[in-house]
Structure 1
Amino acid sequence: MDSETVTAGTRAARKDDHLRLAVTQQREPAARNDFDDVEIVHHALDGIDVGDVDLATRVGDRTWPVPLYINAMTGGTANAERVNRALAIAARETGAPIASGSLSLALDDPWTAQSFRVIRDENPRGVVLANLGADRGPEDAARAVDLLEADALQIHLNAVQETIMREGSRDFGSWAGRIERIVAASPVPVIVKEVGFGLSRRTLRRLSGLGVRVADVSGTGGTSFARIEDARRGGYAFFDGYGQSAACCLLDAPGDGPALLASGGVRSPLDVVRSLALGARAAGVAGPFLAVAVDGGADAVVEDVRAWISQTAELLALLGTPTPAAAAGVDLLLRGRVREFCELRGIDPGAFSRRGDGTPAAAVAPIRKGRTA
């Protein structure tokens, strides 16, 4: 079955499959990932008052109220609409930005649009990101933005997922040109993101050349679409673990590339702060909030997101970092796989342990990485 013969019913069923399999992964025992190899050096007298922490963070040309966002998940079915409603209510009540699932289905099959539109209906004044694949063009991008009255547009890169899907596309050669045209025509900022396999240094530099100013590295370690698609098709289990983690992608990123967001394997507020310490402006969470939405509904997600935001502020205060940006100056010990990655990519892991040199993190400028590709 090729992508041209996929029916609306097949695509909707696929959305429910994705939802079910993603939740199943979240219910598995917590797994170690590369964030565990990023150790923050504790300086016991660097702390500040929690009330002195300002969580606002600059992303592109807009300030987000918190350095945490509810990342793209789902849409297109009744089950997905219930999840999106719970997530949107949580975004409204906490101020966290929220991204929709891919709107391609809504553009092709308007009867599914309300399952996505609920994100804006329930969250009329919040920061909302529309989401679309890199196989679409500027006109579709504008329609996606209009549907959600979106503040920004995520363009997702999912070549690995498409390769594993029986009904997926295998035509990736036009993606760069399409992204460039979308960026040039979009009325809102464009954020390019992976779907869990990471953005390399070379890719980030290429995106910068296409006019992209913000990118979500979206690495391995969280919900695995390789596993999800293999569960639907079989025969592609060897793709599990393919790609690079968010932690490694942040370390690998060029200093002159797009501003960075981090997602993929963000399991706790500590991982949010680790992401900020590695240079991200904000961290995206999907799977953990999805499981809460499915099991407990809107009230449970509101409580959970509030706890993440509160605990992120507490961690920043503990580190003496009054803003998310200041976290990029904390001392880090890079161990294990992350250290090995740095050494193989020509990055000095030891430099991150000396960023503070005894100075509180709030006064330290982050290391700028201007390495060659």
Structure 2
Amino acid sequence: MVEKIKVGLVGIGNCFSGLIQGIEYYRQNPSQQVIGIIHEKLAGYGIHDIEFVVGFDVGENKIGKTINEAIYEYPNMVTWIPKENMPKTNAKVFESPILDGVGLWVENRIKPIKSNKTDEQLAEEIKKQIKESGAEILVSYLPVGSDKVTQFWAQMCLDTGTAFVNCIPSFICSDETWGKKFAEKGIPVIGDDIKGQVGATIVHRTLARLCNDRGTKIEKTYQINVGGNTDFLNMKEQDRLVSKKISKTESVQSQLDERLDDDQIYVGPSDFIPFLGNTKLMFMRIEGRQWANIPYNMEVRLEVDDKANSAGIVIDAIRLAKIALDRGIGGPIYPASAYLMKHPPKQMTDPQAKASCEEFVSGKSN
């Protein structure tokens, strides 16, 4: 029997709520095939081998609660498992520094705690809380635009010897300086910016690659996304979107043999529509030319549950980080990052990334 993978979480929002409720769904429905992950077992680790041992948040209604209570607090929307049916845990949610983690549009919904502690005091407390919890991997579900606080948590991982899975487009794994810091400490890092299982960008880059491989010339393309949860509300603040647009755009551009000019490609979140809730809508268009310079175009509309779309990918990221820990591999985990993230340190085509990931799991590569 394999040991538990002890995981800490930063940001107890909808994404994590969908992740932990999904694990419980499969526990309560053992006859159901587990879908949305690479393999049911990775190096012997299954989804029920993951244990969430500590959480961190800025919401005054989540801090101090156990994780199983905090995931149902406003403004979270995921209720796949009724609250009374969610197993209780002793794992607590502790205070995180705010820094740049709360945007203008979401402040009234999140209601961040009015702390009397300095960031330095919180850092010392957090390092102790990570150590006492036994967490060996920290997953960041911070809001888009949280660059300073992402760097804070990356440093916490370096200071405590904890592997880091960065699910947002604040660049750590793909940043040469930060990647080197993790490599020097021998600590695994996977990032940056999680791909959805069948999300907007994975569909866009796959179709762009298909057009490229079939010999057509793409001339222009766009991808527009709308949704109704706090993620999309946060992204109404354009200043927080710089790295998000870079991440999504480069993910598509990386699949083309010939880059598009910046004014011929648009990839990014576009608006917040409250009644959509956790539903995300994507509208994509590709225009190009075929044989004899004849034009073609395609349009795609995708509708997904935004939180179900990322949960299985994070499950794989956690297990791959654990494999790296078990094998003493530190620094950016290139195969996992290329396969699971939009902005990895090394871009690959998705078939190449999957093959590389399989080799990593089997021990044939690092």
TM-score by length of 1: 0.29
TM-score by length of 2: 0.30
Greater strand content? 2
Greater helix content? 1
